[in-house]
Chain A
Amino acid sequence: QSVLTQPPSVSAAPGQKVTISCSGSSSNIGNNYVSWYQQLPGTAPKLLIYENNKRPSGIPDRFSGSKSGTSATLGITGLQTGDEADYYCGTWDSSLSVVFGGGTKLTVL
């Protein structure tokens, strides 16, 4: 059971928009910044969003992040087949450790 809660799967058609939610508590998301990671099949995770809504160099602006209270959301617009991957949210927790969501599998139909 992961500390952060994500939907196991989401799907949408190419070109459409999808959002992935990440729910936590005041011990983690409520008081700290959220990051998002993309894991393509058979590869290591890659940083997608940091500090709630910032994108590292090279990440297209089709990817966006937001946070409200104890929840965060990853948005992906203009879906492409290459976006099919597992997505994880993560943040610092009052237990002095990083906690992750269980991951969300994105299928582009």
Chain B
Amino acid sequence: QVQLQESGPGLVKPSETLSLTCTVSGGSISSYYWSWIRQPAGKGLEWIGRIYTSGSTNYNPSLKSRVTMSVDTSKNQFSLKLSSVTAADTAVYYCASAQSGSYPGYYYYMDVWGKGTTVTVSS
């Protein structure tokens, strides 16, 4: 069973760039979609975006101008960068593996999640 582990700084200053990495163990990162999701304290889930192992990406339109995702297949890792952060970006950040396809109708769901990492934006 694939396992995911988020890592990165727990504290980021306003206007700086948040950088997180997700390490995949127990399986290969190749030929799958990988997602980032976040959750502010006491609030709901917000999908940040996804990356395929080819490097193809889709981002949440509300965050698109500030998000960059990348993948390193040699390290079995994928990463998230969120620029120009503010206090509103304070949240628990999750990485997840995803399954996708179409029948017709498209399915995309996150089947394995990391435990999450808390990122606080504060000076």
Residue of B59, B94, B105, B116 with highest tally of chain A CB at under 10 A = B105
Q: Which of A88, A92, A97, A102 contacts B60, CB < 8 Å?
A: A97
Task: Determine the distance from Cα of A32 to Cα of B100 in the docked complex, in whole angstroms.
Answer: 11
Task: Determine the distance from Cα of A101 to Cα of B45 in the docked complex, in whole angstroms.
Answer: 8
Task: Determine the distance from Cα of A51 to Cα of B103 in the docked complex, in whole angstroms.
Answer: 10
A92 in contact with B106 (CB, 8 Å) = yes
Q: Interface residue count for B (Cβ, 8 Å)?
A: 27
B44 in contact with A44 (CB, 8 Å) = no
Task: Determine the distance from Cα of A88 to Cα of B111 in the docked complex, in whole angstroms.
Answer: 14
Mostly, the A contact residues are strand
Question: At the interface, yes or no: B16 with Cβ under 8 Å from chain A?
Answer: no
Question: At the interface, yes or no: B32 with Cβ under 8 Å from chain A?
Answer: no
Question: At the interface, yes or no: A14 with Cβ under 8 Å from chain B?
Answer: no
Task: Determine the distance from Cα of A101 to Cα of B47 in the docked complex, in whole angstroms.
Answer: 11
Question: At the interface, yes or no: B28 with Cβ under 8 Å from chain A?
Answer: no
Question: At the interface, yes or no: A96 with Cβ under 8 Å from chain B?
Answer: yes
Say how far A58's CB is from chain B's closest CB, in angstroms.
Answer: 11
Closest to B62 in A: A97
Taking CB atoms, residues of chain B closer than 8 Å to A90 are 45, 47, 109-110
A33 in contact with B105 (CB, 8 Å) = yes
Taking CB atoms, residues of chain A closer than 8 Å to B50 are 98
Task: Determine the distance from Cα of A82 to Cα of B37 in the docked complex, in whole angstroms.
Answer: 25
Closest to A32 in B: B106
Taking CB atoms, residues of chain B closer than 8 Å to A33 are 103, 105-109
Closest to B50 in A: A98
Closest to A44 in B: B113
Interface residues of A in 39-86 (CB under 8 A from B): 43-47, 50-51, 56
Say how far B38's CB is from chain A's closest CB, in angstroms.
Answer: 11
Question: At the interface, yes or no: A108 with Cβ under 8 Å from chain B?
Answer: no
A-B pairs, top 4 by smallest CB distance, nearest first, are A35-B109, A33-B107, A98-B47, A44-B113
Given contacts A32-B108, A98-B47, 5 further A-B contacts (CB under 8 A): A32-B105, A44-B113, A90-B109, A97-B59, A98-B50
